[in-house]
């Protein structure tokens, strides 16, 4: 990932054309998080496994917070080959892993785990996947201008760190818990040298409003707008994001969130999290299997699942 060579899980031969063979040799991959019912990852990864004729299956594992430690032990006990990690566990899983790759340490979060004979290794493909989507699918170069990031959780940490590494000149983070935004800002500064602003979650805050209006990129890394989540408003001034700005929502279900709909109405270019989901998934799949991922197949599966 991001140029790092990773030993993957061995390829399983013998899957019949047009389907997967489930037997004692089937490799199990999955997703742990809460909630996970909305996720499109199973459709994407199962399509990739089938396309390459691999004897494997990818399933969602909904894990309640009080069961996270038991779930991690379960990965070892059951021999689950690898999993993705989503909200709210990208940081919480880290103390329960045996190894952390440089990407996980740098981003301070894990979204990909490989099980190597009972030893769990954590990686982060979110950051590289996000930058790859910006550049390849949206023609946006992070060095173009300032970026405003909403949220300070695991996904936000990966986004901010990736932007700093990719040459973004200015980044500001706004979070309901400002202390957490300040911690993230300090962490990014210590690891990359980029001075990151931590702003107040208040649409009336002048500093936030000013930064938001001149930002080239505004990224929502909170679950606001996600299917099944409590509704709420992001602390943005009226008309922002607007013309000349890229509004990027990591939420992809629904494909058009309230944030993206408003941004489009304001004249902004908009993007949901499907592209980042695709590219981080490609990197995870390649880490688990050691094979080149069928990107076009995975993209079609995602779009089909999203009804696009």
129 is in an annotated binding site: no
CB of 281 closer than 8 Å to CB of 44: yes
Asked whether residue 252 is marked as a ligand-binding residue, the answer is yes
Please write down the HEC assignment for all residues of 204-242: CCHHHHHHHHHCCEEEECCCCCCCCCCCCCCCCCCCCCC
Q: Is 290 annotated as a binding residue?
A: no
Give the residue ranges of DSSP H helices in 166-257. 178-192, 206-214
Whether omega for the bond prior to residue 186 falls within 30 degrees of 0, making it cis, is: no
Say whether 250 counts as a known binding-site residue.
yes
Is 86 among the annotated ligand-binding positions?
yes
Tell me whether residue 111 is annotated as binding: yes
The reply, when asked if residue 41 is annotated as ligand binding, is: yes
Does 27 count as an annotated binding residue?
no
> Is there a binding annotation on residue 33?
no
Tell whether residue 40 is among the known ligand binding residues.
Answer: yes
**Is 275 labelled as part of a ligand binding site?**
no
Distances from the Cα of 123 to the Cαs of 76, 127, 286, in angstroms? 17, 11, 12
Percent of the chain as helix, strand, coil, to the nearest 5:
40, 20, 45
Cα radius of gyration (the chain): 19
Encoded tokens for 105: 């340490």
Does the annotation flag 280 for ligand binding?
Answer: yes
Annotated binding residue at 39? yes
Q: Which helix (H) or strand (E) holds 78?
A: helix 68-78
Q: Contact 220/245 with Cβ under 8 angstroms?
A: no
Which residues are CB-contacts of 22 (< 8 A; sequence separation ≥ 6)?
A: 55, 57
Check whether 227 is labelled as a binding-site residue: no
Angle between helices 154-165 and 126-138 (to 10 degrees): 60
Is 29 annotated as contributing to ligand binding? no
Active site residue 90: yes
Return the structure tokens found at 64: 């309640």
d(CA 46, CA 41): 8
Which residues, other chains included, contact 110 with Cβ-Cβ below 8 Å and sequence gap of 6+? 85, 90, 91, 93, 94, 97, 100, 104, 122, 123, 124, 154
**Annotated catalytic residue within 5, 90, 132, 191:** 90
| Active centre residues (catalytic) | 90
Residues forming the annotated binding site for NADP(+)?
A: 102, 151-155, 250, 273
Residues forming the annotated binding site for shikimate?
A: 39-41, 86, 111, 126, 252, 280
Residues forming the annotated binding site?
A: 39-41, 86, 102, 111, 126, 151-155, 250, 252, 273, 280
């Amino acid at each position: 990932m991001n140029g790092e060579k990773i030993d993957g899980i061995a390829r399983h031969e013998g899957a019949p054309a047009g389907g997967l063979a489930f037997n004692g040799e089937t490799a199990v991959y999955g997703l742990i998080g809460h909630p996970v019912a909305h996720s499109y990852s199973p459709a994407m990864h199962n399509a990739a496994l089938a396309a390459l004729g691999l004897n494997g299956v990818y399933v969602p594992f909904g894990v309640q917070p009080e069961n996270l430690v038991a779930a991690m032990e379960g990965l070892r006990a059951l021999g689950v080959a690898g999993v993705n990690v989503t909200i709210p566990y990208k940081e919480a899983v880290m103390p329960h892993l045996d190894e952390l790759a440089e990407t996980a340490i740098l981003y301070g979060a894990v979204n990909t785990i490989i099980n190597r004979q009972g030893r769990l290794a954590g990686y982060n493909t979110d950051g590289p996947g996000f930058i790859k989507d910006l550049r390849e699918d949206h023609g946006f170069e992070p060095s173009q201008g300032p970026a405003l990031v909403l949220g300070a959780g695991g996904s936000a940490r990966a986004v901010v760190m990736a932007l700093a590494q990719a040459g973004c000149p200015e980044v500001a983070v706004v979070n309901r818990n400002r202390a957490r935004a300040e911690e993230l800002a300090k962490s990014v500064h210590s690891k990359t040298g980029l001075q990151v602003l931590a702003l107040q979650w208040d649409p009336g805050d002048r500093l936030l409003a000013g930064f938001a209006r001149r930002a080239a990129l505004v990224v929502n890394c909170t679950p606001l707008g996600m299917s099944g989540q409590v509704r709420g408003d992001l602390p943005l001034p009226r008309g922002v994001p607007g013309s000349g700005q890229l509004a990027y929502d990591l939420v992809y279900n629904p494909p058009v969130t309230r944030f993206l709909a408003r941004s489009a109405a304001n004249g902004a270019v908009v993007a949901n999290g499907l592209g980042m989901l695709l590219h981080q998934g490609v990197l995870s799949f390649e880490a688990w299997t050691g094979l080149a991922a069928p990107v076009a197949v995975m993209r079609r599966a995602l779009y089909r699942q999203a009804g696009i």
